Amino acid sequence: MGAGKRSLTMAAVAVVCAMTVLGAPVTAYASQTKPTEPTPSPSPSGTSDSSDTSGDSGSPDTASTPASTPVTNEELEAVREKLESLYHDAAVATDAYNAAEEKADKQSAEIVDLAHEMVKGQEKLDKLQDLIGAAARAQYRGGGLPPEVQLWLSENPQDFLEGADRLRQGQLATKGLLAEMTQTQQDLEQYSKDASARWEKLEANRKAKDKAKKKIKKQIAAAEELEAQLEDDELERLAQLEEDAAQQSQAAWLDSGILDEINGKASEQGKKAVKFATDQIGKPYEWGAEGPKTYDCSGLTSQAWAAAGLTIPRTSQEQWKQLRHIDIQDMRPGDLIIYNSDASHVAMYIGDGSIIHAPRPGRTVTIAGAGTMEILGVVRPDA
If you average pLDDT over residues 322-343, what whole number do you get? 95
248 pLDDT band, cuts 50/70/90, is very high
> When comparing pLDDT for 203 and 131, which is higher?
203
Provide the residue ranges of all domains of the chain, joining segments of one domain with +: 1-45+72-230, 264-380
Label residue 270 by pLDDT band (50, 70, 90): very high
Is the per-residue pLDDT at 121 higher than 70? yes
Judge whether 266 and 331 are in contact, CB under 8 Å.
no
Compare 298 and 137 and report the one with higher pLDDT: 298
Judge whether residue 239 has pLDDT over 50: yes
Residue 44 pLDDT: 37
The more confidently predicted of residues 120 and 239 is 239
Where in the sequence numbering do the catalytic residues fall? 297, 345, 357
Please list, in sequence order, all residues whose beta carbon lies within 8 angstroms of the beta carbon of residue 336, skipping any fewer than 6 positions away: 301, 319, 323, 346, 347, 348, 349, 378, 379, 380, 381
In a 10 Å sphere around its CB, with 0-12 CB exposed, 13-18 middle and 19+ buried, how is residue 93 labelled?
Answer: buried
φ/ψ of 358, rounded to 5, equals -100, 105
pLDDT given for residue 316 in this prediction = 94
CB-based contacts of 287, cutoff 8 Å, min separation 6:
90, 94, 97, 216, 220, 296, 361
Whether the CB-CB separation of 346 and 319 falls below 8 Å is answered with yes
- Is a pLDDT exceeding 80 seen at residue 356? yes
- Please give the average per-residue pLDDT across 3-14, as a whole number: 41
> Among 3.90.1720.10, 3.40.50.720, 1.10.10.10, 3.10.105.10, what is the CATH number of 264-380?
3.90.1720.10
pTM for the full model? Answer: 0.59
- Using alpha carbons, select from 246, 353, 268, 317 the residue that is nearest to residue 100: 317
- The strand pairing partners of 354, in sequence order, are 351, 369
Q: What percent of the chain has pLDDT over 90?
A: 32
CA triple 339-30-361, angle to 5 deg: 55
Which residue did the predictor score with more confidence, 35 or 232?
232
Please report, as a single letter, which amino acid is at residue 377: G
For the CA atoms of the chain, what is the radius of gyration?
Answer: 36
**Which of 50-59, 99-108, 248-257 is modeled with the greatest confidence?**
248-257
Lateral strand order in the sheet of 375-380: 324-326, 375-380, 336-339, 345-351, 354-357, 366-369
Is pLDDT above 60 for 148? no
d(CA 157, CA 141): 20
Q: pLDDT category, 330, cuts 50, 70, 90?
A: very high
Phi-psi region of 298 (alpha: psi -120 to 50; beta: other; left: phi over 0): alpha
For residue 367, what are the CA distances in angstroms to 76, 119, 153, 266, 354?
Answer: 25, 52, 97, 18, 7
Write the CATH number of the domain with boundaries 1-45+72-230.
Answer: 1.10.287
Average pLDDT, the chain: 75
**Selected residue with higher pLDDT from 152 and 110:** 110
Identify residue 325 by its one-letter amino acid code: H
